[in-house]
């Protein structure tokens, strides 16, 4: 098996696209060039998208300032629309709750401040494995097309944000209904409960990470959206009765 995670862990084999203007471009590249292969562009439009089209990009890093906020939003939208599996990290000269909300809604995977560039390499290493382990609704046998609009909205939300979501209440709040109504809607549409589906997404993500990456069980639990190792083990045993994550990886994940 091609262990994609081993390749990513090497860093140097990962190709990053840096979209920024000077002097931030130089500061970003100086942090990343020792560990990654880099492509750079000052174009926040067709130039950046052309690089994404022509190269197998593992992660995009975009510089954000007050002057280019609208350009960044447009690039985020177009990049995620055409290349949804490529993670995007924003390096911002400022952040506030509204900026984080807007950038998150447009598809940013991580946002860090320019004065925290020292953590940028690790941030990228954290998001790259997830791009290869994302779980889709198509991975499950669900009657999505036959479901109601409300159920499809909830399903899409789970698919896009299952790592961050922690409860049925959060799902219901995002789409503006009560948790009991949401549970009933899933039942009426012959869907498994939203709580169980969210658990399945997280556990399958963890298994995908095991298959692609040589990461610790604790790290896999964190990257898959579990709040702690105990919760991860409990959920894993519900999906794979009789096996802990460690036992499952030892017995079933080929090296």
pLDDT of residue 9: 43
What is the edge-to-edge ordering of all strands in the sheet holding 59-64? Answer: 37-41, 15-19, 59-64, 88-92, 110-113
pLDDT at 17: 96
* Angle, helices 179-188/168-175, rounded to nearest 10 degrees: 90
How far apart, in whole angstroms, are the C-alpha atoms of residue 207 and residue 221? 10
Q: Output the pLDDT for position 13.
A: 66
For residue 17, CA distances in Å to 121, 168, 229 come to 13, 36, 34
Q: Write the CA distances from 233 to 154, 203, 228, 254, integer angstroms.
A: 26, 10, 9, 21
The pLDDT score that the predictor gives to residue 10 is 36
Task: List the domains of the chain with CATH numbers.
Answer: 4-131 (3.40.50.2300), 137-252 (1.10.10.60)
Q: How far is CA 102 from CA 76, 95, 108, in A?
A: 11, 11, 9
For residue 121, give the nearest of 20, 18, 21 by alpha carbon. 18
Strands 37-41 and 15-19: parallel
Q: What is the spatial distance between Cα 194 and Cα 179, in angstroms, rounded to a whole number?
A: 9
The SS3 of residue 91 is strand
Give the Cα separation of 120 and 110 in Å (integer). 10
> What are the beta bridge partners of residue 63?
91
The pLDDT value given to residue 8: 39
Residue pair 162/136 in contact by the 8 Å Cβ criterion:
no
Where do runs of H (alpha helix) occur along 33-115? 46-54, 69-82, 97-105
Q: Is it true that the peptide bond before 23 is cis, omega within 30 degrees of 0?
A: yes
Segment (H or E) for 90: strand 88-92
Residuewise pLDDT in 10s, the chain (255 residues): 233 333 334 355 688 999 999 999 999 999 999 889 999 999 998 899 999 888 878 899 999 998 899 999 999 999 988 887 688 999 998 888 888 888 888 889 899 999 999 999 999 988 887 767 889 999 999 999 999 999 999 999 999 888 888 999 999 999 999 999 999 999 999 999 999 999 999 999 999 989 887 889 998 998 898 989 999 999 999 999 999 999 999 999 865
If we measure between CA atoms, which residue out of 149, 137, 231 comes closest to residue 182? 149
pLDDT number for residue 12: 54
């Amino acid at each position: 098996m091609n262990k994609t995670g081993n390749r990513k862990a090497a860093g140097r084999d990962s190709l990053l696209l840096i979209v920024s203007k000077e002097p931030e471009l130089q500061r970003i590249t100086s942090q990343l060039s020792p560990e990654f292969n880099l492509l750079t562009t000052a174009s926040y439009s067709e130039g950046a998208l052309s690089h994404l089209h022509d190269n197998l990009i593992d992660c995009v890093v975009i510089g954000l300032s007050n002057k280019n906020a609208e350009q960044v939003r447009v690039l985020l939208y177009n990049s995620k629309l055409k290349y949804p599996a490529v993670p995007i990290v924003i390096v911002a000269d400022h952040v506030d709750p509204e900026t984080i909300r807007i950038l998150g809604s447009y598809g940013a995977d991580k946002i860090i401040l320019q004065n925290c560039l020292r953590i940028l390499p690790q941030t990228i290493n954290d998001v790259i494995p997830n791009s290869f382990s994302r779980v889709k609704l198509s991975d499950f046998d669900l009657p999505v097309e036959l479901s109601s609009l409300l159920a499809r909205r909830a399903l899409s939300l789970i698919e896009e944000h299952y790592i961050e979501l922690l409860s049925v209440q959060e799902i219901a709040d995002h789409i503006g209904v009560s948790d009991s109504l949401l549970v009933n809607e899933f039942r009426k549409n012959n869907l498994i409960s939203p709580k169980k589906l969210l658990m399945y997404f997280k556990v399958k993500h963890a298994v995908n990470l095991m298959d692609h990456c040589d990461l610790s069980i604790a790290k896999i639990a964190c990257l898959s959206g579990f709040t702690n190792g105990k919760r991860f083990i409990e959920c894993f045993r519900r999906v794979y009765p009789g096996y802990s994550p460690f036992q499952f990886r030892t017995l079933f994940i080929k090296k």
